[in-house]
Structure 1
Amino acid sequence: MRFHRPPSLAEALAIKADNPKVLPLAGGTDVMVAANFGRLPARDVLDLTDVPELSQWWREDDRYLIGGTVPYARIIAELADALPGLAMASRTVGSPQIRNRGTVGGNLGTASPAGDAHPPLLAGRAVVRVQSVRGVRNIPIDDYFVGLKKTALAPDELVTAIELAAAPGPQQFAKVGTRNAMVIAVCSFALELDPAAKRVGTGLGSAAPTPRRAPEAERFLEDELSGRWLDPGRPLPHAVVREFGELVASAAAPIDDVRSTAAYRRHALGVLARRTLGWTWLDYQKETRQCA
């Protein structure tokens, strides 16, 4: 096994082109766990932590681009106002030490269905920017996950940035685990309301072979809110909230495993959907009153 630690993105991409099977390491919070348990295959490792192009975030118009090695701690500290849903999810990741090391880029590289960053990225229609010596490619988040821990990345590509619009309205994230902290999600859910575009975004985690949205639930809520965006003072009918939760639960394809049963995951997703809808609508009501 060889360990590579390139000082630039160009050198990292050259190494990846020469050896497509090299294992990228961003924060190492998954890779090192596998190594400690003897489950890391005998592969060369490409440590990206010294690549300056990956360690920054920046703005392009109203879009935020987050480099592949920006840790969760910085997202919480520096981007919570602009990207509250992603910051909420970042706060639930492991311990302070893990949040100081773990990255959204690493989360996308691992592509676990339980990855905490995935639901808010789906709800916000993020774009994954990937790069190789052949050039740059932008992959819509809906097209990025192609199977269980499998992605649309070509063998010679690296995740270099995540592109996400500033929050157009209220965002929420919630997850269920076997304890309150430092836990892999039994299931998770993210919700975004976009009053200007009259759009709803959702993201489900740990509920199917891949992270996914709930398109039927989105369309249902968009229809129900079509006459309410300009009159948010009215509470949402209980029937609307209940149906939204049921549609979110029906979008899942969970399994039984050591952390939960499939039936409980579906039930919990319905609860999370109802709760986050209540929270986001209250946030929207508050914002509307303040603007008035």
Structure 2
Amino acid sequence: MEFLRPGSWEEALAAKAEHPTAVPIAGGTDVMVEINFDHRRPEYLLDLNRIGDLYEWEAGDEEVRLGAAVPYTRIMEQLRGPLPGLALASHTVGSPQIRNRGSVGGNLGAASPAGDPHPALLAAGARVEAESVRGTRLIPVEEFFTGVKRNALEPDELIRAVRIDTADGPQQFSKVGTRNAMVIAVCAFGLALHPRTRTVRTGIGSAAPTPLRARVAEDFLNAALAEAGLWDSGRPVPPSVAREFAELAAGSCNPIDDVRGTARYRRHAVGVMARRTLGWAWDAYRDSGRNTRCA
């Protein structure tokens, strides 16, 4: 195994172009586990730790540009305001040591269906900034996952950053596991309210071959909220609407039976999480509206 250690982003892209099979490593929380258990034996490891740009972010009014190697701890501590859903998901990733090293870019590269940040990224509206010596392209996160642990990157591309819409409304994340952290999700659900566009987006993890949005459930809920004028009135979501949304979300799944849970349980759990996260997020939206009117 040859160890490549570029000193700049340009050198990293050149190395990846010359050695397309090189496996990038920064935090190493997934790659080193696979190597230690002899599940992977790459010819080249591409160490990105010397590239400072990957550990930085820019937070604007419209979006946050999150460097691929920004660790979860910094998201939790410093980006909770603009990225509340991702911050909640970050709390459930591994142990403190893993959160100090692991990153959203690394999880995207691994493309596991059970990756904790994926539902939050889907719900928030994220784009993966992929770059090679040929140029840069933005890949919508819902198009990034192409199969179990497979993604849309070309062999010569690296993830430089993730661009995530700045939250304009409440966001929630829920995960089912044997405990809150240090566990692979049985299933997970993310939900984000987008009052500017009057839409709701979702993300489901560990309940299909790839992370996915519950688009039919989203379409139903968006129409129901608009028809009842709930964005303006701030009235509660009717229980019948919440139940239908939950059932449609559960129906969006394509889970399997495995050691962590059955397909039937996963569908049930996704429905429960969809209903609960909608309730939590809508309550927060109503509270923010009341506070604005009282100010």
- Range of TM-score over shorter length: over 0.9
CA deviations over 1:229-258 (Å, ceiling 9, x no partner): 1111x2221111111110100000000011
Match of 1:122, SS state, is: helix
1-structure distance, mates of 2:181, 2:148: 25
Match of 1:230, SS state, is: helix
1-structure distance, mates of 2:61, 2:261: 42
Shift of 1:27: 1.1
TM-score of the superposed pair, with normalisation by structure 1: 0.98
TM-score of the superposed pair, with normalisation by structure 2: 0.97
1-structure distance, mates of 2:155, 2:181: 35
Amino acid at match of 1:221: L
Shift of 1:142: 1.6
Q: Which residue of 2 aligns with 1:59?
A: 59
Q: Mapping of 1:142-161 within 5 angstroms?
A: 142-161=142-161
Q: Does 1:228 align with 2:230?
A: yes
Amino acid at match of 2:180: N
Q: Which residue of 2 aligns with 1:119?
A: 119
2-structure distance, mates of 1:26, 1:143: 24
Identical amino acids, percent of aligned pairs: 57
Q: Mapping of 1:61-140 within 5 angstroms?
A: 61-140=61-140
Equivalent pair of 2:60/2:166 in contact (CA under 8 Å): no
CA deviations over 1:241-277 (Å, ceiling 9, x no partner): 1111101000000000111100000000000001101
Match of 1:128, SS state, is: strand
The number of equivalent residue pairs is 291
Equivalent pair of 1:105/1:159 in contact (CA under 8 Å): yes
Give the ranges of 4+ consecutive aligned residues of structure 1 lying more than 2 Å apart after TM superposition.
none
Amino acid at match of 1:228: L
Amino acid at match of 1:188: A
C-alpha RMSD over aligned residues: 1.0
Q: Which residue of 2 aligns with 1:241?
A: 242
Q: Give 5+ residue unaligned stretches, structure 1.
A: none
Amino acid at match of 1:274: R
Amino acid at match of 1:265: R
Shift in CA distance, 42/195, structure 1 to aligned 2, threshold 3 Å: closer
Q: Mapping of 1:1-292 within 5 angstroms?
A: 1-226=1-226, 227-232=229-234, 234-292=235-293
Shift of 1:60: 4.8
Equivalent pair of 1:113/1:149 in contact (CA under 8 Å): yes
